Amino acid sequence: MNAPRPWLRLTIGLALLCGLFGWSNVAFSALQGEYEIMEGEPSLHESGKVILLEFADFYCPHCHMFERVVVTKLQAEFGDKFESRMIGFPVMPGKLPTAFEMYNQAVTMGKGQKMKEVLFESIHSKDIQIFDKTMRSLLLKEVGLDAKEFEAGLASGKPFRTLGEGKAWGERIKVTHTPTVVLDGNIRISNLNYDNLKVVIKSILDQDIKS
C-alpha cells in the first residue's frame, strides 16, 4: 500500500485541526452566564467535572466570605461534578506565607479542603494570625494529619515553591484582587454571584453531555 502523499497528510491534518477548533468554538458559544474566555490559556477541563480555581488570600475577608457562602453552595449543588482548588495569592501586607504553605502541604496529603476551612476559620473567627509549630500541631489534630509527615513536607520547601508558582500564574493572567475565579483553567468569571457561577458551571456540564 502506498504511503499518503505529503499534501494529502497536510489536508487531513488541517481538516482535523479546523474540526477541533470548530468544536471548541461551538462548545464555548453554547455556554450561558457571564464569563470571559482567556485566549492562550490551556483548558484543564475534565469531562463531567468543573474545576473552580480561586486565586485567594487566607487573610482576605472577601475570600473567606466567598469560600463560606458561594463555594459551599456550589459543592452542595454539583457534588462530585465540582472541585474547588485554591491558588494562594497573597495581597494583604505584613503577613507570613505560613498559612499558604500549610494549605499546599495538606493538599499533597489529601486534606486540602479541610485545611482550607480550618485556616479561614482560625484567621477570621478566632483571630489567629501566626501559625508557629505549636499552633500547627493543634490544627493538624483537627484536620487529621500526621504531624511528622506534615512538618517534613513543609521543611522540604515544596509548599513554598508551589505558592511561588501560583503567584507567578496569577501575575501572568493579570490577577489584581482576591478572590479571582477561573473555571477549568481558561474561563474567567468576574461576576462571582452564586447564581451566575451556577449557570456557567451547569452549562459546561450540559455541554459535556451533548458532545
Give CA angle at 163 (161, 168), nearest 5°.
95
Helix (H) or strand (E) segment spanning residue 54? strand 50-56
Cell representation of residue 136: 500547627
Could you identify the residue written with the cell 495538606?
106
Q: Write down the pLDDT at residue 15.
A: 38
Min mean pLDDT across 19-23, 78-82, 104-108, 180-184 is at 19-23
Mean pLDDT confidence for 148-162: 98
User: How does residue 211 score in pLDDT terms, banded at 50, 70 and 90?
Assistant: confident
> What's the first-to-final CA gap in the chain, in angstroms?
35
Mean pLDDT, rounded, of the chain: 89
Q: For the CA atoms of 123, 86, 180, 59, what is the dihedral angle to 10 degrees? A: 10
Is 0.85 surpassed by the pTM of this model? no
Topology adopted by domain 31-210: Glutaredoxin (3.40.30)
pLDDT tens-digit readout, 128-137: 999 999 999 9
SS3 42: coil
Give CA angle at 50 (46, 52), nearest 5°.
125
pLDDT tens-digit readout, 28-64: 557 999 999 999 999 999 999 999 999 999 999 999 9
- Beta-bridged to residue 83, according to DSSP, are 51
